[in-house]
Amino acid sequence: HNSAVTPEAATATATVITCLCHTASAMPFFHTCGPNEAMVVSGVCHRQPKLVTGGRVFVWPAIQKVQRISLNMLTVIVSSPRIYTMLGVPVSVTATAQIKIEGSKREMLHNACQQFLGMNEHQILEVATQTLEGHQRAIMGTMTVEEIYQDRQKFSQAVYDVASQDLLNMGINVVSYTISDVSDDQGYLRALGETDIAQRHRDARVGEAEASRDSGIKGARALQAERQAQLQNEAEVAKSQRDYELKKASYDIETQTKKANADMSYELQVAKTQQKIRSEAMGIVVVERSKQIQVMEQEITRKERELEATVKRPAKAEKFRLETLAEANKNKLIWEAQAEAEAIRARGEAEAFAIRARSQAEAEAMAKKAEAWVEYKDAAMVDMLLNMLPRLAAEVAAPLAQTEKITMIAGPNGDVGAARITGEVLDIITRLPESVRQLTGVDITKMITKSASNATSSRA
């Protein structure tokens, strides 16, 4: 429904419009910013502040407010001088970090505005530096000097992982974090470098370099144990300072206990170090002995080669020559033996033929004799006996023919001289028929008598 505008309302409206026009003439309505900063607009019409990065925004004068926050990259030098590491060795670390307020993520930019709006870059840099230094100190206390110095990537990653989370909660992104310097005023890092140099010298000169390397290592370990004890003591002192009013007495006792343990640990480490030094000295002697053995083995090898060249090879040549001659002689003997065997075989065959011929003749003669014996019987046997008597007499007299001297002694009625010897031979022959009868049962005397009677009868 319609309502009439009163003159008073129209006058008030005109007055307000006039004031706004005068204000607009004094402050522009549009604000702009580059890509390296962000604008925060708050006031009327904004329940939450409006965030604008790298652009422009319309701002009502007097009823709205615009603020700016830098998005530039900031370089933070994080210095942690004389921080005790896990083993009690004080070391100084200087790192360089690149940070910036993250403007591409609204939530992080909103957190950054809550934390840093109204601060300049120097103030923001101070907050980030303190945060990074705190985390860097904490990580240094959990690592050894060797890990920090030799594995800087691991140390940097550990600090980055811890610190970046806190800075992200503040709206700051850690773009990079690198270790620029690691140093100490106790000579510990120098000792580590000397250890590496000693190791390289050990490869060139086994004996002296090993001793130098081991001395450096053992000294570093002793120093490490001592620094660890100092770290424990100082940690206890820090705890006593933190709770000084409540637990001063108990922490004093604990500090003294830790100090005594540290002294005992130091003495024990010194004893272990001396023992290892002695062991390494023995190792040097063993290495020297090994080198001497290698030299002796090489000399043995050289002498064996010399013996091979001067003795064994000539001996092998002589052996080959002798074996060749022996093989030739063996072949000669084999051929001669084969020829002789062939001659013997030929002679044997000839003798065998002669024996067979003679045996056949004797067999034929014996066959004839056998036929004659069958025909004449006793007469044949008598004839054979008569033929054998001269041979028998010759066999009986043969020993007498070999006698050089015979001495004969005659009895009162005996003969002397050749007649006596002949009589002895005839007496032996006379006894032959009786010996044959006793051995074979054949009575030669009867057979001769019977043969003579048969012959007489046949003539009559």
Q: What element of type H or E holds 240?
A: helix 206-242
Q: Which residue has the higher pLDDT, 379 or 216?
A: 216
pLDDT attached to residue 376: 58
C-alpha span between 180 and 177 (Å, rounded): 9
148-198 pLDDT per residue, tens: 888 888 888 888 888 888 888 888 888 888 888 888 887 877 877 777 677
438-450 pLDDT per residue, tens: 766 767 777 777 7
C-alpha span between 216 and 193 (Å, rounded): 10
Tell me the DSSP string of 396-454.
Answer: HHHHHHT-S-------SS---SHHHHHHHHHHHHHTHHHHHHHHHS--HHHHHHHHHHH
Q: What element of type H or E holds 308?
A: none
Least confident window among 93-97, 181-185, 194-198, 314-318: 194-198
159 and 91 Cβ atoms separated by less than 8 Å: no
423 and 415 Cβ atoms separated by less than 8 Å: yes
C-alpha span between 128 and 124 (Å, rounded): 6
pLDDT band at 380 (very low <50, low <70, confident <90, very high): low
Q: What element of type H or E holds 146?
A: helix 145-150
Q: pLDDT over 90 for what percent of the chain?
A: 0
Q: Is the pTM above the cut of 0.75? A: no
pLDDT attached to residue 2: 41
Beta strand ranges found along 152-249 (DSSP E): 172-183
Contacts 24+ apart (CB under 8 A), 138-144: 138/162, 140/80, 140/83, 140/84, 140/85, 140/91, 140/93, 141/83, 141/84, 141/85, 141/86, 142/86, 143/85, 143/86, 144/85, 144/86, 144/87, 144/89, 144/224
Q: Pick from 118, 129, 126, 121: which is nearest to 73 by CA?
A: 121
Q: What is the DSSP letter of 36?
A: T
